[in-house]
Each structure stands twice: as C-alpha cells, then as structure tokens.
Amino acid sequence: MRTNVVIVGAGPAGLMLGRLLDLAGIDNLILERRSAEYVLGRIRAGVLEPGSVALMERARVSGRLRAEGLVHEGAVLSFDGDSHRLDFTALVGRQVTVYGQTEVTHDLMAAREGQTIYEAENVELHDFAGKPQVTWRKDGVVHRMDCDYIAGCDGYHGVSRASVPAAVLAIFERIYPFGWLGLLVDRPPVAEELIYAHHARGFALCSQRSLSRSRYYVQVPASEKVEAWSDDRFWDELRRRLPQAAAEALRTGPSLEKSIAPLRSFVAEPLRFGRLFLAGDAAHIVPPTGAKGLNLAMSDVAMLADALIEFYAEKSAAGLEHYSARALARIWKAERFSWWMTSLMHVFPETGAFGRRIQRAEFDYLTSSTAAQQSLAENYTGLPD
C-alpha cells in the first residue's frame, strides 16, 4: 500500500494536519495507538489563540467553535490576594477563545475524510532518510504503508522522536518540581474570565469549558498522587489560594475528572530528519501556565501543511526545507513566555524569601506598566508566525 503522507498520532496536531491535507487533496493516513473514545476522554487545554481559531475556520470545522466558544477579552492575575485585570482588547486589540481541546478533537474527528486507524499497535517508522515506510499491528496482523513523508504528531511519549538516532537530536529541557492537579466540574465558572492566582501555598487557576462547566487547577509537588486528593480537599485548597471575592463565589460540586499533569519545558531540535517531520508535543512541551501547548501544535501543523501543499502543488521543497527553522523560531518564543509566566505565578521553595520578593516585584512592575502588560497580552494572545 502507498500514500503521500503517514501521520502518526490522532491528537489535535495529527487530526488538524490530516484535515488540511484532506482539503488539499493530499492522500494521508493517520495511525493512532489508542481508541477514539480514549483520545476524546483526555481533558487538556482550554484556550485558543486567534491563530488557532483562524486555523479551525480554514479547516472548515469552526461551526461549533463559533457557536459555543467563549470569547474572552481579558484575564485576571492575582498575587497574594491583590488582583489585576489584563484587558487584552485594550492592550493589543486581540482576544482569546475558551473552547476545550476535547471539543477541537471532536470537531476534527467528525470532519475526517481520510483513513484513520485507531488502536494501531506497535507503530514503527522505517527508512525515513530514504524511502519511508510505516508498519503497525492491528487485530494480530502486521501492515505496511509506503509513503513520501511521515509526520510525527504522536506527542511527548510517541514513537516518532524516539525513532531518531540520539546523535542527531538536540534536547533542551527543564523539569519543574511541581505539577498541576486539575479538576473538571459541572458548575458555573467562578468568574467571567480566567483567574491566575499566586499564593504562598501555591499557584491556582480558575478556567472554564462553558457557562456551566468549569476547570480548576492547583499546584502540587511533582511527587503528589491524585488518590490523595478528595474533592473536599481540592475545594478547600483552591479556596485558600484564591482572592477573597473568588473564594466566596466558588460553586463546588462532584468532580467529573481529576488528574495531575507534570510540568516541563522541552524542545527537540531539529524538527526534520530526512522525510520525517515532528510537530506538536512530539517536538516540544511547555508548562500550561501560558496556555501555549495546544496553540503551538496548531501553528506547527499549519506551517507543515503549507509546506507539504507547496511541495505537491508546485513541486517546490522550499517550505519543507524551512519548516524546522521557522517552527522553532515560534516555539522558542512560546517556551520563553511559558517559562516566564510559570516562574512568576508558581511557588519555588528552593528560591527562598529572595525569590518571592523578586516575584512580588515582577507582579508590581507588571501591574504598574502598560508596556509590561502589552508584552504579556501579545504573548498570551499569540505572537505572529
């Protein structure tokens, strides 16, 4: 069997790339190791930059997003109970849209025209420096697909980056000593906009999925186990970290989902190895503080799709040659912003009293400087490609 592009991974990156190639008439196969239900069951990102919204429109899957997405003109940063609203519209003339990654994945799955093979076991990449082939096992039978290119969209733990010889891969990583304990609940959000809160006990975030479903996070030690957190313990801890008005307004209820996500900053360079390209979490990870993970994955695959479309339509390999450098330029700016916002909003015990004074000074500078707020707003709402 033969196709133009094999995409490994049916998360948002793989599905969006597949959709863009479908629309361009470029034959592609997506191989996903989990079931569609499992992929849809993951609760992850919640904020889309305007660039990601535009990509959903280009992919002709923006109907529900336009109807159900919540446009947010700002967000609140709080530091030890002092709150400041960042007015994105006034600062940079842009907004963000609250629309869960689960919904993005659902919309892309529903629109998929090309073939997606779920529960594809033991996916292996072969000869991607020459004549690429991908093999996998399904229902006990080993299959092979020959292709022109392979797109590794299989996330941080995927097989694609792991298939690249370590000698040709440069890894840049920072592992944070904490994670985010997240909880999903069918209760109205505590406020109209997101609240990012720094407190001596740790970071907390109040986010949302709709006007009746909310998403909350608290910083926990990297060693923490979700089993140690009853709903009541979560709600008590969240209240202690929020500004008083939010703590009093909090509507609690039984959790629909509770999980702990480790935090790391990670970049693999380069993003091309012969006829294999890496995109999304397969290539990079950001701490979710800046709401960049999903949005970076979207901008990666937009660039890769344009390069592949240019190759098949105009027989020009220029876009493919420039993909890695172009994507990495944007990735590193998002890594910087995510690291900076994480450094500002979380408690780092190892930095001691001096570190906390520096964080307080950073917050005081931010809230007193329009230029500093514009910088945060232009990064949070998404830098240009």
* Helices 293-314 and 318-345, packing angle to 10 deg: 170
Q: Rule CB under 6 A: is residue 45 a binding residue for ligand FAS?
A: yes
Is residue 147 near ligand FAS by the rule CB under 6 A?
no
**Residue 118 appears among annotated catalytic residues:** no
Q: Is 158 in the site for ligand FAS (CB under 6 A)?
A: yes
3-state secondary structure at position 80: coil
Residue of 216, 288, 323, 346 with catalytic role: 288
Count of C-beta atoms within a 10 Å radius of residue 354: 8
Told to judge if 199 belongs to the known catalytic residues of this protein, a careful annotator would answer: no
| Binding flag, residue 52, ligand PHB (CB under 6 A) | no
Within 8 A by CB and 6+ apart from 271, the residues are: 277, 278, 279, 283, 300, 323, 324, 327, 328
The DSSP code sequence of 235-253 is: HHHHHHHS-HHHHHH----
Selecting among 12, 72, 99, 287, the annotated active-site residue is 72
Instruction: Judge whether 177 counts as a catalytic residue.
Output: no
CB nearer to ligand PHB: give 21 or 56: 56
Stretch that binds ligand FAS, among 56-64, 149-157, 192-200, 323-331 (CB under 6 A): 149-157
Asked whether 190 and 206 are in contact (CB, 8 A), the reply is yes
Buried b (16+ CB within 10 A) or exposed e, 34-48: bebeebeeebbbbbb
- Respond yes or no: is residue 292 known to be catalytic: yes
Strands 70-72 and 74-79, bridge-based pairing: unpaired
Q: How many residues bind ligand PHB (CB under 6 A)?
A: 9
SS3 207: strand
Active site (annotated) includes residue 72: yes
Token pair of 384 as six digits:
């240009």
291 binds ligand PHB (CB under 6 A): yes
CA distance 343 to 174: 12
Cβ-Cβ contacts under 8 Å for 321 (sequence gap 6 or more): none
Instruction: Name which of residues 152 to 211 contact ligand PHB (CB under 6 A).
Output: 194, 207
Of the residues 49, 107, 154, 335, which one makes contact with ligand FAS according to CB under 6 A: 154
In DSSP notation, 94-148 reads: --EEE--HHHHHHHHHHH--SEEETT-EEEEEE-TTSS-EEEEEETTEEEEEEEE
Q: Which of 72, 215, 330, 346 binds ligand PHB (CB under 6 A)?
A: 215
Question: Could you tell me which residues come within 8 angstroms of residue 256 by beta carbon, excluding any fewer than 6 positions away?
Answer: 184, 185, 186, 213
Per-residue contact flags (x/-) with ligand PHB for residues 22 to 51, judged by CB under 6 A: -----------------------xxx----
Using the rule CB under 6 A, is 342 a contact of ligand PHB?
no
Taking CB atoms, the residue at the shortest distance from ligand PHB is 46
Catalytic residue among 99, 149, 176, 196: 196
Residue 98 binds ligand FAS (CB under 6 A): no
Given 5, 21, 26, 32, the residue binding ligand FAS (CB under 6 A): 32
**Minimum distance, C-beta of residue 320 to ligand FAS, in the bound complex (Å):** 19
Answer yes or no whether residue 56 interacts with ligand FAS by CB under 6 A: no
**Among ligand FAS, ligand PHB, none, what does residue 289 contact (CB within 5–8 Å per kind)?**
ligand PHB
Tokens of 105: 């994945």
| 60: Cα within 13 Å, side-chain hemisphere | 10
Half-sphere exposure of 284 (CA within 13 A, CB side): 34
Q: Is 74 in the site for ligand FAS (CB under 6 A)?
A: no
For the bound state, the minimum distance from the C-beta of residue 45 to ligand FAS, rounded and expressed in Å, comes to 3
Q: Write out the catalytic residue numbers.
A: 72, 196, 288, 292, 380
Binding site for ligand FAS (CB under 6 A): 8-14, 31-34, 39, 44-45, 101, 120, 123, 153-155, 157-159, 261, 280-281, 288, 291-294, 297
Binding site for ligand PHB (CB under 6 A): 45-47, 194, 207, 215, 288-289, 291
